[in-house]
Amino acid sequence: MPGASTVTIHADRETHPSRALAQPIYQTAAFSADDGATFAAGAVEPRGEGFYTRFGNPNHAQVAAVVAELENTEAAMVTSSGMAAITTAVLALVSAGDHVIGQQSTYGGTASVLLNLLPRLGVDTTLVDQRDTEAFEKALTPKTRLILVETPSNPLLHITDLRAVAELARAHDVLTLADNTFATPLNQRPADLGVDVVWHSATKYLNGHSDVSAGVLAGPAAILDRVWDTSLLTGATLGPIDAWLLLRGIRTLPLRVPRHNDNGLALAEALTRHPAVTRVHYPGLDTHPQHALAAAQMTGFGGVLSMEFTGGYDMADAFLGHLRYPRRSASLGGVESLAVHPASMWRGMLSDEQLTEAVPPGLIRLAAGTEDTADLVADVLAAADAVSSASGTA
């Protein structure tokens, strides 16, 4: 199998309908057919490319070809955002009366699907501590249909044992869906460890330039056919221009990820030694309680880390005000470093009680971009110095 850099540049070659080096943008809502049989066939072809853009579009197919090969899955599909990917998948795969297992530490939107949306639709959910594989087993019921995992998790960087959970699920005829946004397929390939469907907020590393909202799902064609069918109803359609931008971003993913990995580790190591910081969460640190598991299933540890400040909510918030390079923003995975205070950001998605369970108030999530490592480390340490001298911790 070719390497990731070759895949991101050439895996869509077969889908090239023209001889242009840069893919044309099929900015059209629909396509025409010369005869009734072709037209009728287009209407039922999952992820087709020539019927109606909500059903599929050549720009979607190009991204899907690259993502499927990167994730080593049979097929892939694109959606209008990461949340469109997970919500559409869940709606496709469960019904009222079913049971779904998720993680206590997970992206706020996914937590809200588990805690709010699914119970409203008559689907029971159980959230477990992903660090304990047995907790997944204990949560299984005869009605369990799906296990949603996310590793490393947002924003606590907890690790899920993908192989163990996938094996457990398979033994009970339960499907597994893994959010691979933080790791990227460069650092971790859940399907190789037995996970059924891998999904991403492609808004993040896959696109990498903070200019597109998109999602992807990768897995067996038969499962994605069901998800595609539901996507026709949720209308989770990615615009052709956004699919084109996403493909352009993915072309350089293998060049960007090693720098994100280096910057993430350098920041984690530097912050570990700072007196204003009580804990750094980063799976690449050998002090991370699950470092051995992370090292066994990942080849790099990503650009996202989080840390807790001695001065709680106020100190964390003040720290953001002292940063020069990382900007205060809800996203991550772009070339620019970003930082966010989850306890304030997720207010709109979770109730106060759910929020207190999900994140410590003094936690900052830092997403290292691809800037020069020394500049980034100096800037982040200067901001930590500023808040600790203001509070007298230095």
Of 48, 50, 58, 82, which lies in the binding site for ligand PLP, with binding defined by CB under 6 A? 82
- Cβ within 8 Å of residue 52, ≥6 positions away: 29, 30, 31, 42, 43
Q: How many CB atoms lie within 10 A of CB 269?
A: 16
The CB-of-231 to ligand PLP minimum distance in angstroms stands at 14
What does the alpha-carbon distance between residue 56 and residue 43 come to, in Å, rounded to a whole number? Answer: 10
End-to-end CA distance of the chain: 52
Catalytic residue chosen out of the listed positions 131, 189, 204, 365: 204
Q: Which of 57, 151, 203, 297 binds ligand PLP (CB under 6 A)?
A: 203
Spacing of C-alpha 236 from chain mean position: 17
Q: Is 94 buried (19+), middle (13-18) or exposed (0-12) by CB count in 10 A?
A: buried
The nearest distance, CB 81 to ligand PLP, in angstroms, is 3
Least distance from ligand PLP to the Cβ atom of residue 367, Å: 9
Q: How far apart are CA 50 and CA 328, in angstroms?
A: 41
User: Any idea which residue has 């937590």 for tokens?
Assistant: 111
Pattern 136-175, binding to ligand PLP, x per CB under 6 A? --------------x---x---------------------
Is 54 known to be catalytic? Answer: yes
328 is catalytic: no
Q: Which is nearer to ligand PLP, 82 or 361 (CB)?
A: 82
Is residue 107 among the annotated active site residues? yes
Triad 88, 190, 333: Cα angle to 5°: 70
- Whether residue 204 lies in the annotated active site: yes
How many residues in the shown chain lie near ligand PLP by CB under 6 A? Answer: 14
- State which of residues 42, 46, 48, 109 lies at the interface with ligand PLP (CB under 6 A): 109
Residue 105 C-beta: closest distance to ligand PLP, Å: 11
Which residue has the CB atom at the shortest distance from ligand PLP? 82
Does 107 bind ligand PLP (CB under 6 A)? Our answer is yes
Helices (H), 94-220: 108-112, 118-120, 133-139, 162-171, 184-187
Tokens (6 digits) for 7:
């895949």
User: Which of 98, 179, 242, 317 is flagged as catalytic?
Assistant: 179
Contact residues for ligand PLP, defined by CB under 6 A: 81-83, 107, 109, 150, 154, 179, 181-182, 201, 203, 213, 215
The catalytic site residues sit at 54, 107, 179, 204
